[in-house]
Chain A
Amino acid sequence: MPIRNTASRYGSVAQALHWAVVALLIVQFTLGKIADDLPLGFDKLVTLARHKSFGITILALAVIRLAWRLGNRPPPPPPMPGWQRVAANLSHAALYTLLFAMPLTGWMMSSASNYPVSWFGFAQLPDLVAPDRNLAHDLEDLHELLSTVLLWVAALHVLAALKHQFVDRDGLLMRMLPWGKP
């Protein structure tokens, strides 16, 4: 599999980044949900610390992904109606935006609530905003709202990919899979 994207499929770097982010997002939703249900205590501290570390990892991967994408255009999509192309572009833009917005609102929320972020205990990140109870509360609501939006857009993204693969049979999904034929 070529490293770079070709005219017919994504290269290994784009694929690795895509699936790594998918895996991390599943971890993030799980940890976020677990932490939300826990009372303040040791388990919550540990769960949220990991949630933050994975979140910062996703933010770093999002930067790399965007840079890679800008220097390495994705393969052109298979023929499809104009509205589907527009919908695909919009949902991809929304997904990229959320890949930045989720970790950034989480990081800001951590700063605002005076629980600074450390990346797996190796390095402490600077605070993005000063501690502020009201701001922390608003950011928590926003972070949660965006997670719901992300869940719906991601569901749409998956359903669209499956529709292309199994209804339209245009081989779209294979472009993002390592065993897909070039």
Chain B
Amino acid sequence: MSPRAIFACLALLAAGAAGAAAWQGDQAAGKLQFIATQAGAKFTGGFTKFRVCFDFDPAKPADGRLDVTVVTASVDTLDDERDAMLTGEDFLWTSKHPEARFHAEKFRREGKRWRADGELTLRGIARPVTVRFQIAPSGAVLTMKGDAKFRRLAFGVGRGEWESTEWIGDEVEVRFDLRLPPAPAAASP
């Protein structure tokens, strides 16, 4: 995790000092996966390094804040060749864009789930993305499970012949299943 991401997390916690509960976790908290379509077949990959900072009180969703930082080079599709290709310039371009980030401050209920309208920054391009999730306290830990969809071409992921949506689908689904521990007490007021 880069110093910048840790700083982002601390800044978030300071901002959330108003009293809302805060949780934060990294890859040890669970899974962050994506489902992409290749030659008409869906496959699942994931990221093995990421950080989630979530400052949220269901009674005061307007004060909520969600920050997810992903180390793009940690992409893992269970195939080394494909991972090497995905980290390359035509896809995630991880040498130039080592992190992808999702940030949301707008939350509203949708039945049993929450909807967060935020912004995903990928390959240096920021676009609005909606994440839907369900949360449930489990002791001190918050379980958070949800998904999102985005169009890879909107972020320039897959250039040249890879722009063909016949061979690589435009839509990518993101899924996460996390058990976030409470943020350290040192960061609380």
Residues of chain A having any CB pair with chain B under 8 Å:
40-42, 45-46, 48-49, 52, 113-118, 120-122, 124-125, 131, 133, 136
Task: Determine how close the nearest CB of chain A comes to the CB of B187; give it in whole angstroms.
Answer: 38
Task: Determine how close the nearest CB of chain A comes to the CB of B141; give it in whole angstroms.
Answer: 28
Contacts of A122 in B (CB 8 A): 40
Please give me the residue from chain A that is nearest to B158 by CB atom: A42
**B85: CB under 8 A from chain A?**
yes
A116 touches B41 (CB 8 A): yes
> Contacts A46-B167, A48-B39, A114-B44 given; 7 further ones with Cβ under 8 A?
A52-B39, A114-B43, A114-B79, A120-B40, A122-B40, A131-B78, A133-B78
Please give me the residue from chain B that is nearest to A130 by CB atom: B78
Residues of chain B having any CB pair with chain A under 8 Å:
38-45, 77-82, 84-85, 160-162, 164, 166-167
Please give me the residue from chain B that is nearest to A133 by CB atom: B78
Contacts of B84 in A (CB 8 A): 40
Binding site secondary structure of chain B: mixed
Other-chain residue from B41, B78, B164 in contact with A117 (beta carbon distance below 8 A): B41
Q: Contacts A114-B77, A115-B38, A121-B166 given; indicate if A40 touches B43 (C-beta within 8 A).
A: no
Task: Determine how close the nearest CB of chain A comes to the CB of B162; give it in whole angstroms.
Answer: 6
In angstroms, Cα B80 to Cα A133, docked, is 9
Contacts of B43 in A (CB 8 A): 114-116
- Sort A-B residue pairs by CB-CB distance and give the 5 closest, nearest first: A118-B40, A121-B40, A49-B39, A118-B41, A116-B41
Contacts of A113 in B (CB 8 A): 78-79
